[in-house]
Structure 1
């Protein structure tokens, strides 16, 4: 009898353990604004199509900067809208709460990854990161429930060349100038604050803009000159998936992610995946995807 029980336990360990590990849920929290909201628009469909369970949260304040996030934290203000998507076994649940504090969001889950970003118009101006990025990192470290959580800098994207955003003149109303400034500020922030992981949405969008079939969608992938449109949202979700989820679950962006928005073609979906994958491989350099073959 003892041998039968022992054999049964060994069977469970050998054959069920891989399945349990494969079902591990990745938990990602973004502290941001509408730009972090953009990249989470399609994540439940993307993850679900690849058979992956995730929890994705967004602490949202419209247009909020790093300075503003620090003021909310320091004042313990319940000033955030908290949006959370939970995807399990092919089904998802969406929660949306108001009057939530930064601390409330941090302790809500044992987050694996936490992203921070500067507001888009200041994302290429390094002096605006200090001292608020460092203060926020210390604050997060005081309340995060998972001691192994990875703090990540979300590198946002440059505006459309037609953008009327009030911050665009700082970059000479030039998209390439803005992108280069965002890269430089992001790299400096990461070096000076010991951040090793970047979410390179800005580079993925710039990669996509190198191909006419993608760049011609909406206003250079934006809906209004700065927020992402349908295809841009999809690319942002693919970057989120490739950066945090794909490797942990042994998933291939091209083979396993089968979802695409109805508004885009199969070719555009393929090129979007290429733009995202190349950005994760080379986060601070534009890849001319028009000349790449997969």
Structure 2
């Protein structure tokens, strides 16, 4: 089966359901080039794919805070001198070495979140990496992973132009979405819409996170924390009597949402009826996350010309 997204077709490695209701077939070989955000987004993908009956093999080239530019410069260093330690930044291996360890069906790329709203930071590195991957893995389908905006109460948001930052979660989402779609169109690549799913949930009147205005942030006392119900981001936590705040990275709920989006996108199958839920995510919220993930994937189907093959 083929999952068509835009101008590309992603091979569905999972075979049709057999008579006993179980899927069979060769694993989908997925290679992720990214940073901590890709680690967050695919955190529970293996558990979901196992439950759904889709064998999955995952390879990774991830470095914290790594931009498209840095990934390319590391690849360039390894090409110039394969023995240069600079090019072997991925646990002692180069990107070329990792990509050459197997035959990959899907390879994903993403921008560093702080730069995700500035389309000029993608150029020319997205195309250089795209061409580099295509040379090493000619049959792979190259996909962009759309990252998410920071939490609404963040003390700062991502860059949208040189010297200019977004002023809100909404603006960061809008600008990063525009940048991802612009580059994806230039390269004819599909998009995993994780950022859209985050915004759809965050902007929902019932399910979106709202800052706790009753908490005294000027004099916090451990172990008390503000109410952070429905937060898709890590938010506040105590660390050795110090109140820390992470408005960027995904919470378990955010990681779950990201993994559900990846599942729906990669396998063309609704995750709504899957049973796996991270321990800290309430059941009612988890159900909403599953619905949001699938509705977001279906919107890509409806909005992208030539998008075919997802099961409704």
Compute the TM-score of the two structures, normalised by the length of structure 1.
Answer: 0.77
Give the Cα separation in 2 of the matches to 1:166 and 1:131.
23
- Kindly indicate whether the alpha-carbon contact (under 8 Å) linking 2:196 and 2:296 is maintained by their aligned counterparts in 1: yes
- Kindly indicate whether the alpha-carbon contact (under 8 Å) linking 2:272 and 2:294 is maintained by their aligned counterparts in 1: no
Taking only aligned residues, the RMSD between alpha carbons, in angstroms, comes to 2.8
Is 2:256 the partner of 1:234? yes
* Structure 1 moving runs of 4+ over 6 Å: 16-21
Q: How does 1:1-294 map to 2 (within 5 A)?
A: 22-76=24-78, 77-80=87-90, 98-144=91-137, 147-165=138-156, 167=158, 170-195=164-189, 197-211=190-204, 212-215=206-209, 217=228, 220-223=231-234, 224-245=246-267, 247=268, 251-255=269-273, 257-283=274-300
Q: Which has the higher helix share?
A: 1
* Runs of at least 5 residues in structure 2 that lack an aligned partner in the other structure: 1-17, 79-86, 211-227, 235-245, 303-311
Deviation at 1:33, TM superposition (A): 0.5
Give the structure 1 partner of residue 220 of structure 2.
none
* Runs of at least 5 residues in structure 1 that lack an aligned partner in the other structure: 1-15, 81-97, 286-293
Equivalent pairs counted in the alignment come to 248
Query: After superposition, what is the alpha-carbon deviation per residue over 1:140-159, rounded to whole angstroms, capped at 9, x for unaligned?
Result: 11112xx3311001111011
Give the structure 2 partner of residue 288 of structure 1.
none
Deviation at 1:206, TM superposition (A): 0.8
What secondary structure does 2:207 align onto? helix
Give the Cα separation in 2 of the matches to 1:30 and 1:141.
14
- Kindly indicate whether the alpha-carbon contact (under 8 Å) linking 1:120 and 1:157 is maintained by their aligned counterparts in 2: yes
Distance verdict in 2 for CA 1:71–1:203, change over 3 Å: same
Query: After superposition, what is the alpha-carbon deviation per residue over 1:115-134, rounded to whole angstroms, capped at 9, x for unaligned?
Result: 11110011110011111111
Compute the TM-score of the two structures, normalised by the length of structure 2.
Answer: 0.73
Give the Cα separation in 2 of the matches to 1:131 and 1:63.
19
Deviates more, 1:132-141 or 1:169-178: 169-178
